[in-house]
Amino acid sequence: MKDYYQVLGVSRSASDDEIKQAYRRLARKYHPDVNRGDPQAEARFKEINEAYQVLSDKEQRAKYDRFGSDFRRYEQAGYGGFDYGNATDVADLFETLFGARRTPGGGFNVSLDGQDVEQNVELTLEEAYHGTQRSLQFSNPNGTPRTITVKIPPGIDTGKRVRVPGEGAPGLNGGRRGDLYLVVTVKPHPRFERKGNDLYTTAPVSMYTLLLGGQIQLPLLSGKTLKLAIPPQTQNGRVFRIAEQGMPLMGSPRYGDLYVTVSAVLPTNLSPQARQLIEELQRLTGNPAEEK
């Protein structure tokens, strides 16, 4: 079932202005004139327009919120005060389309499935790496509290959803309960940047280690520490790729890679003797001072 709110990237409680702003931003991004020859962008543009046409109209949005993306079928069937057209047996129509059950008196009860419910959750990058869980509280129809615990798998990323079957809105007249979807946002990390399943970080390295070689201790997102060998005469800004030290791939034993950029740490408060030695090194290596 298509979720128009998810298409526009807004919550179900979004205001008209928020919906309009989201539509304009996405329409500019996926407009065919900007993405010539890109069929995927064209399909996305049509999807965005379809979602906006429904959610920008108060009456259609109310129907969509009640019946989901099948609301047009309900309209055609005449549900909720619409024109029944050429329907000759309304009860048969409701029974066919909506799973209605006839009553002994010749009437019918409409059975409708409950709506799916979305809940936003924020995770740290460590939680996304290891996997975690969230305890959520809801109210039962009788008003009593209900707590459910949802497991969130390792490797999950921003925008992904965790489906919890049967924990959404209740159905009507025996209809199945909707599903609960946790919509994940992974917060920025102070040391690591995530790109897909790969991680990127910067490691400070002393000038002496860059010149002479050595090892540095590199804290990993897993909580472990890795010894990274720095070859002699390593240039500032060099990037080291460390395989299988990135984010876990969801549902797989594999991991992405870690990319480490070395950043030179220069000595400060040089003594006259230290300055002399550095100038001698400069002379011996044939590296002239920059012109002032």
Q: State pLDDT tens for residues 168-193.
A: 888 777 788 889 999 999 999 999 99
pLDDT band of 88, cuts 50, 70, 90: very low
Structural domain ending residue among the three candidates 138, 172, 188: 188
Which of 139, 154, 188 is the endpoint of a domain? 188
Handedness of CA 90, 93, 99, 105 (dihedral sign): positive
The answer to the question of residue 38 being in a domain is no
Q: Are residues 128 and 182 in the same domain?
A: yes
Would residue 121 count as lying in a domain?
yes
Q: Which pTM value belongs to this model?
A: 0.60
The answer to whether residues 52 and 8 touch, using CB atoms and an 8 Å cutoff, is: yes
The answer to whether residue 56 sits within a structural domain is no
Give the CA distances from residue 129 to residues 41, 163, 252, in Å, rounded to whole numbers and listed in that order: 31, 19, 13
Domain at 198, CATH number: 2.60.260.20
For residue 29, is it within any domain?
Answer: no
Q: Determine the average pLDDT of the residues in 100-126.
A: 74
What is the DSSP pairing of strand 108-109 with strand 101-102? antiparallel
Task: Decide if 279 is inside a domain.
Answer: no
Number of domains comprising the chain: 2
Query: Are 212 and 153 in the same domain?
Result: no
pLDDT tens, position by position, 242-268: 999 999 999 889 999 999 999 999 988
The reply to whether 210 and 248 lie within a common domain is yes
Residue 281: strand, helix, or coil: helix
| Domain-located, residue 183 | yes
Residue 130: inside a domain, yes or no? yes
User: What angle do the packed helices 39-55 and 16-30 form, to 10 degrees?
Assistant: 160
Average pLDDT over residues 217-223: 95
Over residues 84-100, mean pLDDT:
48
pLDDT grade for 138, boundaries at 50, 70 and 90? confident
The predicted structure's pLDDT at residue 92: 52
Residues 170 and 156 in one domain: yes
Structural domain ending residue among the three candidates 144, 167, 188: 188
Establish if 7 belongs to a structural domain. Answer: no
Residue 177 sits in the same domain as residue 200: no
Residues 211-222 have a mean pLDDT of 95
Q: Backbone dihedral region of 196: left (phi > 0), alpha (psi from -120 to 50 degrees) or beta?
A: left
Q: Does residue 131 share a domain with residue 164? A: yes
CA distances from 176 to 77, 99, 164 (A): 21, 11, 14
Domain identity same for 118 and 181: yes
Tell me the residue range of the domain where 131 lies. 112-188
